Structure 1
């Protein structure tokens, strides 16, 4: 399966608790941190929930 790179580009300060938890579930703890994940529907759903805070590269 393909992989995607997810990079946090905006802060989680002032965001809802569920958005903060989604970032943590993706493994993002700091700004400009990049993590690699498999391109699964669950991961894509999490990325969609915080798409305003992250950048995605396929």
Structure 2
């Protein structure tokens, strides 16, 4: 699914600004936590209050 951040996220040396969009996957089928890969290759998790869905989740 495609998400848009609603809050700034700081993860180590990486900073992700509110409004940035990423392709993400749900951690578990019933979870609202998602994971996306930063440009540095690092995996980052975002919680439901830190993003909004732009496109729906698809089954893998």
| TM-score, normalised by the number of residues in structure 2 | 0.42
User: Higher relative CO (CA 8 A, sep ≥ 6), structure 1 or 2?
Assistant: 1
Structure ranking higher in strand proportion: 2
- State TM-score, norm by structure 1: 0.43
